[in-house]
């Protein structure tokens, strides 16, 4: 059984070592001259309309610290072991709370600096308010990571070409869109993607979109790696 923490699926039964791993070795984390920072497992704050969330949720995790100057300028230092399974999803979240059919626009810009080592994806994680449907948009990824589900082919939507996968994690439907080539900056028109899922494929109804999250789904980052977000925006209504 899973619980939900600030819009992200969080395992209810975490290994006891997780809490220790999330705080051990924090002296190694780099100091950030930032408005806010936290090395707490569930550390979070709200800045200029965005919720920042450290979100160390997977078993076997190591140390991780998040810093932020704003909801659109923030970063993460993470030292997770070179083992399988997602360890964390540090992210910045914007709440939308509008039905797909009521949205006239929904778009985002991103600019990131990501490491050339480790295993991770840089992704949007978009949820309906009932948490029945999860839409992930991977703009780049590295190492031994892959999407849930089976291939549904490719499609060009929202200014990008994506390889699409559809699956279920036991709690909700998951639709993963992997950009055909890695990108570290750009603009994504999210609304056409939601309408394609709803109208063209019929995979969901006129769901109310609750959260648009953007962050890093980290599987491994042994030795400590930095992830930085600049000029993130989420807008629409």
Q: What is the mean pLDDT of residues 82-104?
A: 97
pTM of the entire predicted model: 0.88
pLDDT digits (tens, 9 = 90+) for 121-149: 999 999 999 999 999 999 999 999 999 99
pLDDT digits (tens, 9 = 90+) for 48-81: 999 999 999 999 999 999 999 999 999 999 999 9
Residues whose CB falls within 8 Å of the CB of residue 59, separated by 6 or more in sequence, listed in order: 11, 14, 15, 17, 18, 85
Distance CA 216, CA 114 (A): 9
What pLDDT is stored for residue 33 in this prediction? 76
Q: What is the mean pLDDT of residues 28-40?
A: 75
pLDDT-based confidence at residue 237 (cuts at 50, 70, 90) = confident
Instruction: Name the pairing type of β-strands 63-70 and 119-128.
Output: unpaired
Given 3.10.20.30, 2.60.40.10, 3.20.20.70, 2.60.120.180, which CATH number is that of 2-28+35-236? 2.60.120.180
Min mean pLDDT across 1-15, 25-39, 44-58, 97-111 is at: 1-15
């Amino acid at each position: 059984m899973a619980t939900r923490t600030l819009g992200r699926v969080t395992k209810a039964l975490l290994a006891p070592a997780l809490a220790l791993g999330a705080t051990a070795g924090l002296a190694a984390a780099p100091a950030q001259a930032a408005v806010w920072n936290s090395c707490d497992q569930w550390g979070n704050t709200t800045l200029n309309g965005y919720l920042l969330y450290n979100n160390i949720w997977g078993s076997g995790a190591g140390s991780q610290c998040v810093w932020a100057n704003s909801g659109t300028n923030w970063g993460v230092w993470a030292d997770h072991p070179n083992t399988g399974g997602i360890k964390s999803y540090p992210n910045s979240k914007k709440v939308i709370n509008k039905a797909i059919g009521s949205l006239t626009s929904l778009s985002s810009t991103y600019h990131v600096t990501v490491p050339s080592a480790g295993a991770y994806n840089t992704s949007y994680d978009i949820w309906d308010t009932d948490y029945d449907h999860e839409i992930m948009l991977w703009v780049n990824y590295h190492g031994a990571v892959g999407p849930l589900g089976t291939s549904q082919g490719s499609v060009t939507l929202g200014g990008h070409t994506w390889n699409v996968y559809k699956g279920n994690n036991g709690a909700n439907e998951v639709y993963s869109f992997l950009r055909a080539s890695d990108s570290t900056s750009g603009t994504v028109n999210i609304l056409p993607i939601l309408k394609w899922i709803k109208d063209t494929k019929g995979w969901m109804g006129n769901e109310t979109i609750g959260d648009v999250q953007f962050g890093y789904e980290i599987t491994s980052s042994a030795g400590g790696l930095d992830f930085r977000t600049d000029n993130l925006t989420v807008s629409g209504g």
